[in-house]
Chain A
Amino acid sequence: MSGRVVFPNKLLPYLLLAPQLAITAVFFYWPASQALKQSMQREDPFGLQTTFVGLANFRRVLADPNYLNSVKVTAVFSLSTAFLALALALPLAVMAEKVVRGKGIYRTLLIWPYAVAPAIAGMLWLFLFNPAMGTFSYLLRANGVAWDPLLKDGQAMGLVVAAAAWKQISYNFLFFVAGLQAIPRSLIEAAAIDGASGPKRFWTIVFPLLAPTTFFLLVVNTVYAFFDTFGVIHAVTQGGPGKATETLVYKVYNDGFVNLQLGSSAAQSVILMGVVILLTAIQFRYVERKVHYG
């Protein structure tokens, strides 16, 4: 048995694949090739003339202090988001394991936020923390916190990180729950008999055994924070104040569609494409054949 399906018609398999291939071609390969082309061109202010400039756009982008700032912002934003989303999801999953009654309801409720679109999640957090009308802003200020994410870099960053992480908690929760369920109960029992207290069992047995799941989630969350948080940032801060929350993806949009520097924007997106390819490779290499215990 080779498990292989043989089609009677030679054409049929291609026909079945065609829609997916067409979508990939139209929405990925074509724009990607356009970006590649544009990244090596300069356009005059009126869009009448384009000149081939080779790698000049790349050189300019990489020398631009604003771009380097954005790299830093992205690193801070992504790592904070990933860390926060993981750090909150893990205890929730551990507690969900302990719930006896209403396990299903508890889990379902925790998974819901994942269904919320990033922009909506952003709006939600924006309203809650809006300095003018947000409920939490009111509470914070009533407690003596000078809350103004529209002016303060750190607070703005905190807000987008919270909004971005909030959504991802559900996803991580789901994987942690599955990861926890995959740990044989007898291991925990053996550890209990071996004299390990609850917290000790968690840190010496459960947590190390979750390492593959955690690593997988770290990669996925980082990729998410890198590329999928445009909606959140757009809704909450639009990259501001100043450029305090302008991530690389947001900068591509800002430079290209707001400031109309198409060459620079295209060069940036080509760089990002490289980063995506790299991260995907890491994901496949280390996550697909993740650390297996057995």
Chain B
Amino acid sequence: MAEVDLKAVRKRYPNGMEAVKGVSIAIPDKALCVLVGPSGCGKSTLLRMVAGLETISEGEISIEGRVVNQVSPTDRDIAMVFQNYALYPHMKVYDNMAYGLRNRGTPKAEIDRRVREAAATLELGHLLDRRPRELSGGQRQRVAMGRAIVRQPKVFLFDEPLSNLDAKLRGQMRVEIKRLQRELGVTSLYVTHDQLEAMTLADLLVVMNAGEVEQAGDPLEIYEKPASIFVAGFIGAPPMNLIDPASAELSGPIPAGAAKLGFRPEDAILDGFASEGGLKIRAILDGVEPVGAESYLHAHAPAGGARMIVRTAGRARMEPGTELEIRAPAEKLHWFDAAGRRI
């Protein structure tokens, strides 16, 4: 039962920078927890504290019920996939994967069995005699994965493992990682700044901002009910439209203290019928972004100038400058107070 528990974890770097400001996360056994947030929000720092590569300034991290604050990375029984893969350049692929097992005194035959098994799973069988520099980016990524899985650790840690791959490969590997993690049933902590990656991978999604957790929970729930303007803007692409309630026509009541009103591009209707309690806003079309199966209409409100995006199916043929009437149903509206919190 390798659950990972973070309790009020803080990190202050020697230069005074407080990168993590009291984060508590409970990752259940076998779950894949994704930390997502903009660059510099402290994701890597948090992950590295779980790995034991950074000291923990305050708080407590435990793995499988054991507090590991003072335990060295060597003894935490974790495996990590680095952003740059950190493959040992002077070792062949086989030795890269066998290194961790050798250090732990695993019998030779067992090492060989496990390395070949992992290589087969990751389709690396024909590359075992190569050195990392003779591999493509995607292959290196697989070796890094292989190095992690042969160890059969309690916890997998991933620090933006796919960010150096091209879009197509990234999509493939995303599925692959999810499948492997399911099959192996290893509790995992995965860091990314890519919200799509986060949404598709996570069992437990944690949205971070400036060293703090903005929201944690089921990814779809977070999508449906973002706890703050920050989350609303970060999760979902294109991001949620945020407007000043005063600039729109609202046929329903405005909640007390509401300062911002949000609706997702896919919830906007162009020429539908106004529903009870819904929103209506005039906008000028700035341009159309056709992405194939759907199009994104970029527009701005003449009153207040708020920018909005509307998603429509198929190909929209409209000229920039066209006046639009954008509507959104009441149940799809998100209200936020002046501090940016959900109402």
Looking at the complex, which of B71-79, B192-200, B212-220 is the stretch in contact with chain A?
A: B71-79
Contact A191 B80 (CB under 8 A): no
Answer whether A205 and B82 are a contact pair too, CB < 8 Å, given A191-B99, A194-B100. no
- The verdict on B317 contacting chain A, using a C-beta distance below 8 Å, is no
Determine the chain A residues whose CB is within 8 A of the CB of B52 once the complex forms: 192-193
A18 vs chain B, min Cβ distance (A): 44
Looking at the complex, which of B33-41, B84-92, B263-271 is the stretch in contact with chain A?
A: B84-92
Q: Which of B76, B79, B86 has the most CB of A within 10 A?
A: B86
Answer whether A196 and B74 are a contact pair too, CB < 8 Å, given A209-B89, A209-B90, A293-B133. yes
Determine the chain B residues whose CB is within 8 A of the CB of A208 once the complex forms: 90
- The verdict on A200 contacting chain B, using a C-beta distance below 8 Å, is yes
Contact B74 A184 (CB under 8 A): no
Determine the chain A residues whose CB is within 8 A of the CB of B53 once the complex forms: 189, 192-193
Interface residues of A in 197-216 (CB under 8 A from B): 197, 200, 204-205, 208-209, 211
**Can you list, as one digit per residue, whether each of B38-63 has a CB less than 8 Å from chain A (1) or not (0)?**
00000000000001110000000000
Determine the chain A residues whose CB is within 8 A of the CB of B147 once the complex forms: 190, 194
Identify the closest chain A residue to B97 (Cβ).
A194
Determine the chain B residues whose CB is within 8 A of the CB of A259 once the complex forms: none
- The verdict on A181 contacting chain B, using a C-beta distance below 8 Å, is no
Interface residues of B in 116-148 (CB under 8 A from A): 133, 147
Interface residues of B in 180-227 (CB under 8 A from A): none
Contact of A192 among B72, B84, B89, B104 (CB under 8 A): B72
Alpha-carbon distance between A294 and B131 when the two chains are bound, in angstroms: 10
Classify chain B's interface size.
20 to 34
- The verdict on B103 contacting chain A, using a C-beta distance below 8 Å, is yes
Identify the closest chain A residue to B79 (Cβ).
A193
Interface residues of B in 129-175 (CB under 8 A from A): 133, 147, 151
Contact A200 B103 (CB under 8 A): yes
Identify the closest chain B residue to A189 (Cβ).
B53
Answer whether A293 and B89 are a contact pair too, CB < 8 Å, given A194-B99, A194-B103, A195-B103. yes
Contact A195 B74 (CB under 8 A): yes
Answer whether A193 and B80 are a contact pair too, CB < 8 Å, given A200-B103, A293-B133. yes
- The verdict on A187 contacting chain B, using a C-beta distance below 8 Å, is yes
Determine the chain A residues whose CB is within 8 A of the CB of B79 once the complex forms: 193
- The verdict on A49 contacting chain B, using a C-beta distance below 8 Å, is no
Identify the closest chain A residue to B83 (Cβ).
A186
Alpha-carbon distance between A197 and B75 when the two chains are bound, in angstroms: 10
Contact B133 A192 (CB under 8 A): no
Contact of A197 among B74, B78, B90 (CB under 8 A): B74
Determine the chain B residues whose CB is within 8 A of the CB of A194 once the complex forms: 99-100, 103, 147, 151
Contact A186 B88 (CB under 8 A): no
Classify chain A's interface size.
20 to 34
Q: Which of A189, A195, A204, A294 has the most CB of B within 10 A?
A: A195
Contact A186 B90 (CB under 8 A): no
Contact A192 B90 (CB under 8 A): no
Answer whether A195 and B88 are a contact pair too, CB < 8 Å, given A189-B53, A294-B133. no
Interface residues of A in 163-185 (CB under 8 A from B): 184
Contact B86 A187 (CB under 8 A): yes
Alpha-carbon distance between A205 and B89 when the two chains are bound, in angstroms: 9
Identify the closest chain A residue to B51 (Cβ).
A193
Identify the closest chain A residue to B99 (Cβ).
A194
B218 vs chain A, min Cβ distance (A): 30
Contact B86 A184 (CB under 8 A): yes
Determine the chain B residues whose CB is within 8 A of the CB of A293 once the complex forms: 89-90, 133
B51 vs chain A, min Cβ distance (A): 6
Alpha-carbon distance between A159 and B54 when the two chains are bound, in angstroms: 46
Determine the chain A residues whose CB is within 8 A of the CB of B82 once the complex forms: 186, 189-190
Q: Which of B51, B52, B79, B100 has the most CB of A within 10 A?
A: B100
Determine the chain B residues whose CB is within 8 A of the CB of A184 once the complex forms: 84, 86
Determine the chain B residues whose CB is within 8 A of the CB of A190 once the complex forms: 80, 82, 86, 88, 147
Determine the chain B residues whose CB is within 8 A of the CB of A204 once the complex forms: 99
Alpha-carbon distance between A170 and B259 when the two chains are bound, in angstroms: 66
Identify the closest chain A residue to B148 (Cβ).
A193
Contact of A191 among B51, B76, B88, B151 (CB under 8 A): B88
Determine the chain A residues whose CB is within 8 A of the CB of B51 once the complex forms: 189, 193
Determine the chain A residues whose CB is within 8 A of the CB of B151 once the complex forms: 194
A264 vs chain B, min Cβ distance (A): 48
Determine the chain A residues whose CB is within 8 A of the CB of B103 once the complex forms: 194-197, 200
Determine the chain B residues whose CB is within 8 A of the CB of A193 once the complex forms: 51-53, 73-74, 76, 78-80, 100
Determine the chain B residues whose CB is within 8 A of the CB of A187 once the complex forms: 86, 88-89
Answer whether A195 and B104 are a contact pair too, CB < 8 Å, given A189-B53, A189-B73, A294-B133. yes
Determine the chain A residues whose CB is within 8 A of the CB of B104 once the complex forms: 195
Instruction: Return 25 A-B CB contacts under 8 Å, by A number.
Output: A186-B84, A187-B89, A189-B53, A189-B73, A189-B80, A189-B82, A189-B86, A190-B86, A192-B72, A193-B74, A193-B76, A193-B78, A193-B79, A193-B80, A193-B100, A194-B99, A194-B103, A194-B151, A195-B104, A196-B74, A204-B99, A208-B90, A209-B89, A211-B90, A293-B89
Residues of B whose CB lies within 8 Å of any CB of A are 51-53, 72-74, 76, 78-80, 82, 84, 86, 88-90, 99-100, 103-104, 133, 147, 151
With A194-B99, A208-B90 already in contact, 17 other A-B pairs whose C-beta atoms are closer than 8 Å? A184-B86, A186-B84, A189-B86, A190-B86, A191-B88, A192-B53, A192-B73, A192-B74, A193-B53, A193-B73, A193-B74, A193-B80, A195-B104, A196-B103, A211-B90, A293-B89, A294-B133
Complex A-B, nearest 7 residue pairs according to Cβ-Cβ distance, in ascending order: A293-B89, A194-B100, A195-B103, A186-B86, A190-B86, A208-B90, A192-B73
